[in-house]
DNA sequence: CGACGATTTGACTACAGTCAATGCTTGTGG
DNA sequence: CCACAAGCATTGACTGTAGTCAAATCGTCG
């Protein structure tokens, strides 16, 4: 379980500048977090849902199941991110969410949203823009699933995870990697066997080092060429134009 | 080219109640529309983009291209919908958009968003919720692309288009269908040949009638079973909680 | 040690892709 | 009124990527 209030502020400030009151608000939300053990289901598709959720710490997976038994993972969630926002529009969860590591999760009630729009417009805007950035990621996944060959899908996934970790300030000589190969397969729309074969090839070619809980990318350029990976869709530009704009709190912070 | 101001108001009111001032604002946006001929590119991925766009009338496609030449369609846009919202978070278009029919398209400047948040919070909330609903659709597509067999993908696409047309008030004994088979293939991640074969089979089995510009679904239950189609992800519930809430203007309007 | 989950590998299969040719409309110009 | 071109749809033969099924191995934790 990694993450802190700072991770949350930092994530929001990728999208909008925050004022002291906004930060205080988010800190209060953060403080409401409850702890969830790894591999627990925290949201089930089709069930009523009256809150969206902030991941204060830990990793989680959003996914959909098919009657035939298939699972498609739709998003990997890192600390500071929000899931279940569709409850605002639907009042129902449209996907399931499972923790990957031990997590700290804070609810934000659906009924509070309209007020939030007035009392903390920058936070509300941050939620919108974060949702927009989420869509960009999902879009990239749809492109992978529809049009990239298997090796490119896997390579793309690995590069995305590493890049997002870097942006989120999760650093070290290797990237944490709590996914199983079944998870990788469910992210990429492949079967376990085939995902395994591809990972094995990448390892044998010296492109990556993959050990339980840990990923290191050895030849990033080669892997990026295979994947057709570009990081633009992961790198938003903060939006200006808010009145009473507070001073820059994250002065164009870069992490690589 | 179908659609009117009403289509725009109606679409927003699926998500939030609007006041007279909100409706006036949207009408002004609507009035700024410019006409675009069919099959024209109106947004190009990677290019700077300082406005999001409202489709006042007509159909459009959002898609991504691969260097290898592949195209993945990500969304079919109907009248009243918004595209290019990611420019708020990125200042750059992340996908390309092409008109399918003759369209009327209105820009909403990126720099106006922060003010909109204050002056028309319900419209701002509507944009957010519409984006959330968009995500739900994209998510369903990702599930199709990753885990559904080819016939199910095609069936799902046809049912979704028909259902969305019904919700948007586009009625008649057949649904308009301006997509070519190449478009269908690019939506479903298939090749033209294979998409053609599957459509041929469906036609021969009496499941659908597909003619240029026109789709009729004959045996909806059978097709829905093949597709694993459920319409929940297309049917939002308006969000309450706004102060000075106006009376209901679309009293739980259903269309089917 | 035994159990369970995760990973690895092999043999075989099939769904969907590729490539290429043909047909069908529709619109345009001679 | 016909010839022709362009775009879209259809069909066939062949291929290959990825799926299926099954078994073996590894590792960790009781």
The mean pLDDT value of chain B amounts to 93
Q: What is the pLDDT of residue B245?
A: 63
Protein-contacted bases of chain C (C-beta within 7 A): 5-11, 15-20, 25-26
Asked whether the beta carbons of residue B232 and residue A64 sit closer than 8 angstroms, the reply is no
Q: What is the pLDDT of residue B2?
A: 52
pLDDT at A255 over 60: no
CA of B220 to C1' of D21 (A): 35
Residue A199, CB, strand C, below 7 Å: yes
pLDDT given for residue B246 in this prediction? 60
Among chain A residues, CA nearest to B85: A132
Cβ contacts of B139 on chain A, cutoff 8 Å: 64, 74, 94-95, 138
Distance from residue B195 (CA) to nucleotide C20 (C1'), in Å? 17
Report whether pLDDT(B254) > 60. no
The pLDDT, as a whole number, for residue B111 is 93
B182 touches strand C (CB under 7 A): no
- The mean pLDDT value for B179-195 works out to 98
Q: Which residue is the nearest neighbor of D18, CA to C1'?
A: A194
Task: Check residue B243 and give its pLDDT.
Answer: 72
Look at residue B165 and tell me whether its pLDDT is greater than 70.
yes
Can you give the distance from the CA of residue B83 to the C1' of nucleotide D15 in angstroms? Answer: 40
Give the model's pLDDT for residue B1.
Answer: 53
Three-state SS for B34-56 is EEECCCCEEECCCCECCEEEEEE
What the block records as the tokens of A42 is: 């925290």
Range of lowest pLDDT (A177-186, A247-256, B230-239): A247-256
- More confident: A207 or B240: A207
Task: Report, as an integer, the average pLDDT of A221-232.
Answer: 98
For residue A1, how many other CB atoms are within 10 A of its CB?
15
Over range A7-35, report the average pLDDT: 96
The nucleotides of chain D lying under 7 Å from a protein CB are: 7-13, 17-22, 28
Contacts of A15 in chain B (CB under 8 A): 89
Q: For residues B139 and A254, which has the higher predicted lDDT (pLDDT)? A: B139
Tokens 């939002």 sit at which residue? B236
- Among the ranges given (A60-64, A158-162, A211-215, B189-193), the one the predictor scored with the smallest mean pLDDT: A211-215
Predicted confidence band of residue A141 (pLDDT cuts 50, 70, 90)? very high
Task: Tell me the whole-structure pTM to 2 decimals.
Answer: 0.94
Q: Does B37 have pLDDT greater than 90? A: yes
Nearest to B136 by CA among A95, A4, A167: A95
**Closest chain B residue by Cα to residue A75:** B139
Q: Which of B89, B147, B233 is closest, CB to CB, to A94?
A: B233
φ, ψ (nearest 5 deg) of residue A107: -85, 150
Cβ–Cβ below 8 Å for B94 and A139: yes
Average pLDDT over every residue of A157-179:
94
Q: How confident is the model at residue B192 (pLDDT cuts 50, 70, 90)?
A: very high
One DSSP character per residue, chain A reads ----HHHHHHHHHTTS---HHHHHHHHHHHHT-EEE-TT-EEE-TTSB--EEEEEEES-EEEEEE-TTS-EEEEEEE-TT-EE-THHHHHSB-SSEEEESS-EEEEEEEGGGHHHHHHH-HHHHHHHHHHHHHHHHHHHHHHHHHHHS-HHHHHHHHHHHHHHHHHHTT--SSSEEE---HHHHHHHHT--HHHHHHHHHHHHHTTSEEEETEEEEES-HHHHHHHHT--SGGG--------TTPPPPSS-S----
- Find which of A1-15, B85-99, B232-246 is predicted with most confidence, using mean pLDDT: B85-99
Which of the nucleotides lies closest to B149 (Cα–C1')?
Answer: C15
pLDDT at B244: 64
Residues by CB within 7 Å of nucleic chain D, which ones?
A 149-151, 189-191, 193-194, 212; B 180-182, 192-193, 196-197, 199-200, 212
Per-residue pLDDT tens digits for B199-245:
999 999 999 999 989 999 999 999 999 999 999 999 999 988 887 66
Model pLDDT for residues B111-139, shown as the tens digit of each residue: 999 899 889 999 999 999 999 999 999 99
Question: CA of A11: how far to CAs of A16, A56, A60, B67, in Å?
Answer: 9, 11, 16, 31
What does the pLDDT read at residue B256? 32
Confidence of residue A242 (pLDDT cuts 50, 70, 90): confident
Q: What is the pLDDT of residue B212?
A: 87
- Return the residue in A129, A130, A139, A157 with the most chain B beta carbons within 10 A, the one to mutate for interface testing: A139
Which tens digits make up the pLDDT trace of A47-102?
999 999 999 999 999 999 999 999 999 999 999 999 999 999 999 999 999 999 99
pLDDT band at residue B255 under the 50/70/90 scheme: very low
- With bands split at pLDDT 50, 70 and 90, how would you rate the model's confidence at A1? low
Integer CA distances (angstroms), B88 to B43, B53, B66, B92, in order: 15, 11, 24, 8
Mean pLDDT taken over chain A:
93
pLDDT > 90: what percent of chain A?
Answer: 88
Q: Which residue of A has its CA nearest to B150?
A: A146
- Closest by Cβ to A136, choosing from B86, B114, B132: B86
């Amino acid at each position: 379980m990694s993450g802190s209030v700072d991770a949350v502020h930092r994530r929001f400030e990728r999208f909008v500048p925050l004022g002291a009151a906004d930060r205080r608000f988010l800190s209060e939300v953060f403080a409401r977090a409850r702890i969830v053990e790894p591999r627990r289901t925290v949201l089930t598709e089709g069930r009523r849902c009256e809150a969206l959720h902030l991941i204060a710490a830990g990793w989680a997976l959003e996914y959909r199941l098919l009657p035939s038994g298939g699972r498609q993972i739709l998003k990997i969630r890192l600390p500071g991110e929000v899931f279940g926002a569709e409850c605002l529009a639907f009042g129902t969860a449209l996907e399931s969410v499972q923790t990957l590591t031990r997590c700290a999760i804070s609810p934000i009630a659906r009924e509070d949203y309209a007020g939030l729009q007035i009392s903390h417009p920058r936070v509300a805007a941050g939620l919108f823009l974060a949702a927009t950035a989420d869509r960009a990621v999902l879009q990239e996944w749809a492109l992978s699933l529809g049009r990239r060959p298997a090796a490119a899908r896997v390579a793309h996934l690995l590069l995305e995870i590493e890049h997002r970790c870097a942006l989120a300030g999760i650093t070290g000589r290797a990237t944490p990697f709590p996914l199983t190969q079944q998870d990788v397969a469910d992210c990429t729309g492949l079967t376990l066997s085939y995902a395994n074969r591809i990972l094995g090839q990448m390892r044998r070619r010296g492109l990556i080092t993959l050990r339980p809980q840990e990923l290191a990318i050895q030849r990033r350029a080669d892997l990026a060429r295979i994947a057709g990976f570009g990081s633009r869709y992961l790198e938003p530009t903060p939006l200006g134009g808010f009145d009473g704009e507070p001073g820059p709190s994250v002065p164009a912070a870069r992490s690589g």
